[in-house]
Structure 1
């Protein structure tokens, strides 16, 4: 599932609070974008992961905003084996190695990037991309670190208007699509608009081929 996740160019990023929300997003993902990054910022997120693990085995699922080994252990018990952090801590790098799960740490500086590379992590989240330099940052570090094979998933400040510009960079493996199903649309149950955004993202990906 890790390979499937990192090969999905636009990954839906969601904060969910109800079963209806997670099932709608999972259905749209199944049709258009076969991966989900579920943000662990609500208690319901754990129930949502359980639903995804049980009923949507076709999707590559990641649990995100994981900032402690205790959180990671709880997620692993639900059958999810891909964990993402907005930043990183050395203890999380070691925990992932010791437990054998797939881990994507977050970085925003060359120093953080090098620490992750030293520990063997080459797929990294770039957060918050919009605050820390976006496309220009990726171009800059690409010049220096391309020989290492490091790849990034930018999130934050990425939108339907600039996502292709990000995805065309050789050191970007995917972009987090938080605009696909934002909280305001979920709260309003605006499934028509959310589906439209998933479909648009799917069509954009075809332009890369």
Structure 2
């Protein structure tokens, strides 16, 4: 069998996501909060963000972050339509992710050069993604689907393909290590670092502290792997 080539996510973006180790999932309700929350995350060592398309200001918030903080690896989440893919590319997003695996959306991302990770939770999902040339996949919803045990068993037949996963859904500082330790994981994603209520309440210190905590955990685990 010919090796599966990665067409859906650029190598430089894969490296940025892997180096980050964690992606902060954000719901921003007001554009004025875009820069403060991004700076709070950076101060805590988190350099990758997923802005969910659940509020009308997400596009404007993303543009503000891209213009002022180019060191942020910025992606969009809950990308469900071809139009959203094109808009994400136009804004200059580094990547996008989806909760499911829609071949039309994946194809649109490839057409406009937007790195894309579709969502998978079953072997059928994985094979649909592989058919589209995807090798970095979003595992969603992670915890309620069986966590790392489910992912490890599900991926076993595909291990020779060197797939990598970004788990989201139910992750927090208490269970993050279960995922970070696995060679299947390139980065974890979670909203607990900068909850919507924290952003609305302008709790930047809390967000920075949460970012520092997960960043330190990732460093410790990765350091132990090298020893």
Check if 1:5 corresponds to 2:17.
Answer: yes
> 2:166 aligned with 1:153, yes or no?
yes
Match in the other structure for 2:6? none
Identify which of 89, 93, 106 aligns with 2:106: 93
Offset at 1:41?
0.8
Question: Any runs of at least 4 consecutive aligned residues in structure 1 with deviations exceeding 3 A, and if so which?
Answer: none
Q: What is the Cα deviation at residue 122 of structure 1?
A: 0.5
Equivalence for 2:49? 36
The corresponding residue for 1:201 is: 214
Deviation at 1:77, TM superposition (A): 1.4
Deviations 1:44-71 (A, max 9, x none): 0011111012111111101111100111
Query: Is the contact made by 2:53 and 2:79 (CA closer than 8 Å) also made in structure 1?
Result: yes
Unaligned 5+ segments in structure 2 are 1-11
* Corresponding residue of 2:39: 27
Q: How many residues align?
A: 209
- The answer for the alignment partner of 1:77 in structure 2 is 90
**Greater relative contact order (Cα < 8 A, sep 6+):** 2
C-alpha distance in 2, partners of 1:187/1:29?
A: 15
What is the alpha-carbon root mean square deviation over aligned residues? 1.3
C-alpha distance in 1, partners of 2:216/2:181?
15
Moved more, 15-24 or 32-41: 15-24
- Separation of aligned partners in 2, 1:39 and 1:48: 11
TM-score (norm 2): 0.87
By how many angstroms is 1:157 displaced? 1.2
Deviations along 1:111-156, one digit per CA (max 9) or x if unpaired, are 0101111221010001111221111111212322211111111101
Q: 2:155, 2:180 → 1: CA distance?
A: 13
Query: Which has the larger displacement, 101-110 or 135-144?
Result: 135-144
Check conservation: 1:128, 1:157, Cα contact below 8 A.
yes
Could you tell me which of 155, 164, 167 is aligned with 1:142? 155
Residues 195, 30 of structure 1: CA spacing in aligned structure 2 closer, same or farther, 3 A cutoff? closer
CA distance in 1, matches of 2:84, 2:65: 17
Shift of 1:79: 1.6
**By how many angstroms is 1:19 displaced?**
2.9
Residue segments in structure 1 that go unaligned for 5+ positions in a row: none
Task: Single out whichever of 93-102 and 34-43 deviates more from structure 2.
Answer: 93-102
